[in-house]
Chain A
Amino acid sequence: MKYLFPRQPWDRALVAILVALFTGFCILTPGFYDGFHGTLAITEEFLPFGFVALGLSVVILTGGIDLSVGSISGLAAVIMAILIKSYGLNTWLAVLLAVGAGGGLGWLNGQIITRLRVEPLIATLSTNFIYSSIAIALAGASPPYGFGHAFGELGTGAIAGWLPVQLVIFIVMAIGFSGLITRTGYGRRLVMIGYNRDAAHYAGVSVASVERRAYCISGVMAAFAGIVLASYYDAVRADMGDILLLTSITMVVLGGISIFGGEGGILGVTLAVMILGVLRQGMLIAGFSDMVTTMLIGAILLSSIAIKNLFSSRGFDLGSIIRRLSSLRPPERMASKS
């Protein structure tokens, strides 16, 4: 039991928020708790945000940002639809090629950032609009739809009738990303670059190549999210991914990954994905408009960074003040730990 419980205070707070939010919606919103399977199926509505958030975490850990995730997911879905509809390619081969194309677009971001030395936010802001123009041009006037039953299983299927396929994929991927960041040399180099770029450079880390791969990973995950969305709706729209960006960045930041890079882990991001997903769907079920929900998510984005800055040792450092105050009373601290 001790190992199941998160050790970081930030993650513990997230667990508490998640439990409170979920219970609150179950009690207060009629129609939110829809049986065990029905409630699990809610995750299908928001896990595409989670896939993007996982990829984005890698980029934000290096201290960069990828604003082009929304258009990459739209473009990848459009590419997949065209490969299936116009070229009659096998569905899963088309999915593979589209995910590869997403990786290619992310790699291009990385090339622009590292070779041309454009700041990440400017580079990905520009490519965001370039990619979305290409997606709209490729998609044409009538959005493609109808990709068959087997493909639909990716977005809406459930294993044994109750466990959503998306949730299984998300959990596997989250464990994979967690392993990538904490257990591999590449992951440690990522965090080091985010923590101190110059130190990483002088320690012999090839900063540019690590960064290029990070943007490539982000592109792959964005493309995958686009394909899951296409499967969920059984249709493709070029601007499908536009809603992904704000919520995904919020998930990463609320999850405890420092927006300046070098801090945080995947466990927090996973919890934040669940929190924001439950919040979003709960509010939509309770009858709030999409605009109000988006505004609330924007507010959460700002306040979570503000709170983190207040406590962080790089910011106002409220955390160490509290720690110093609480260490004046050691017995109480021991009691709370056990």
Chain B
Amino acid sequence: MSNAATAASQPGHRAKPRPRRRELREVTLLIAIFAVVLGVGVLRPSFMSFSNIEFMILSSVVLGLAGISQTFVIITRGIDLSVSAVLGLSAMVFGLLSTTSSMPLWQALPLCLAMGAVLGSFNGFLVAWLKIPPIIATLGTYSLYGGLTFIYSNGLQVDQVSPNFAAFGNGNLIPGLPVPTPVLALAAVAAAAWFVLNHMKFGRNILAIGNNAAAAYNAGISVRRTLLAVYTISGALAAFSGLVFVAYTGSATATTGTGDHVELQSIAIALIGGTAIAGGRGNLAGTVIGSVFLSVVITALVFLQVPAIWYSAGEGLMILAAVTLGARRSSKA
């Protein structure tokens, strides 16, 4: 894992191999997760129950998928604020379709990925071709896609989904193996993303662009097309996480995603997981563990009866802490 990343960052300036740092981040996070689980479990014994732990892992799946999509974008030195709007739109569209026109899951899945890819590729077009800074481009599309959700929902909301959606969200794919389908889906996506990032030319191009876009261009990498692909993947993953969300919870409203500040959560997860905000370095294992960490911390806050209004403040503090305490590159001025 670290071999491929350091190989990709060799052409960049002041690239020093950091062999132990990445594993350190994951181990620290795992220790933190166990500490929170044990600490809160002593105070509130029901926190350590099997059903609660299963709930925490399940609720981390949506976050994890959004976090992986954000990780890819952040590696290219970008940011995607529209993940929450795409998530909400996909949850709304396919939640409503599953009940009103009883669309089966096998149709919804490719349609959902295609819709997310189209929305994401529009982001990519704005960033790569029109040279709009990612933060502004995705802030604009955040309002566009969020508005689409409102218009599409037309005052309706999803309060139940068809049985095959519910089976996908809560059931076990392989009979006898007590692992819910969403967790398997996250594992598959994470493994695929890890393979793409660390063992494919495309992944190394992404890392190279994040390290130094000009150098990547001079080295013959098609920066525009790679960026377009990254934002497309990000949109597709965000839409997929919306599908998982609606299948798992069975509900969606016009403010799903945007109301919960999923964009903030996904950025927090990626940065906690050790992805560098300055680009060029990504840690998918860290992102997945980070999503479990965030889910555990939020559930712990619920158990400790901290009012919900403080959650987003906590996520903001987590981002600041992850950026300042994490391995920071020396920056000028």
Residues of A within 8 A of B (CB): 65, 112, 116-119, 121-123, 125-130, 132-134, 136-137, 197-198, 201, 207-208, 246, 249, 253, 259-260, 289, 291-292, 294-295, 297-299, 301-302, 305-306, 309-310, 315-316
Most buried by B among A130, A197, A249, A260: A130
Residue contact B324 to A116, C-beta cutoff 8 Å: yes
Q: Measured between C-beta atoms, what is the minimum distance from B266 to chain A in Å?
A: 12
Complex partner residue of B141 from A125, A260, A298, CB under 8 angstroms: A298
Q: Find out whether the CB atom of A309 lies under 8 angstroms from the CB atom of B313.
A: no
B112 to chain A, nearest CB (A): 22
Determine if B79 is an interface residue (Cβ-Cβ < 8 Å).
Answer: yes
Query: Are B264 and A130 closer than 8 Å at their CB atoms?
Result: no
Contacting chain A: which of B31-39, B100-108, B242-250, B315-323?
Answer: B315-323
Q: Would you give the shortest CB distance from B78 to chain A, in whole angstroms?
A: 11
Query: A301 is contacted by which of B136, B278, B309 (Cβ under 8 Å)?
Result: B136
Q: A117-B328, A306-B130 are in contact. Are A137 and B140 (CB under 8 A)?
A: no
Q: Which residues of chain A are near B317, meaning CB under 8 Å?
A: 126, 130
Q: Do the beta carbons of B141 and A302 come within 8 Å of each other?
A: yes
A-contacting residues of B (Cβ < 8 Å)? 79, 126, 130-133, 135-137, 139-144, 146-148, 150-151, 261, 264, 267, 271, 277-278, 307, 309-313, 315-317, 319-320, 323-324, 328, 331-333
Bound Cα distance from A134 to B141, whole angstroms = 28
Residues of A within 8 A of B267 (CB): 122, 125
Q: How many A-B residue pairs have CB under 8 A?
A: 124
A129, A249, A299, A309 — most chain B CB neighbours (10 Å): A129
| Interface SS of chain B | helix
Shortest distance between the CB of A143 and any CB in chain B (Å): 14
B304 to chain A, nearest CB (A): 16
Q: With A129-B312, A133-B310, A294-B143 given, can you name 9 additional A-B contacts, CB distance below 8 Å?
A: A116-B320, A121-B135, A125-B264, A129-B315, A130-B313, A198-B332, A249-B139, A302-B136, A316-B131
A-B contact pairs, 27 of them (CB 8 A): A116-B320, A117-B324, A119-B323, A121-B135, A122-B323, A123-B320, A125-B316, A126-B264, A126-B317, A126-B319, A127-B320, A129-B261, A132-B312, A132-B313, A133-B316, A134-B313, A197-B333, A208-B333, A249-B136, A249-B139, A291-B150, A294-B146, A294-B147, A298-B144, A298-B147, A302-B137, A305-B136
- The verdict on A302 contacting B315 (CB below 8 Å), with A198-B333, A291-B147 known, is no
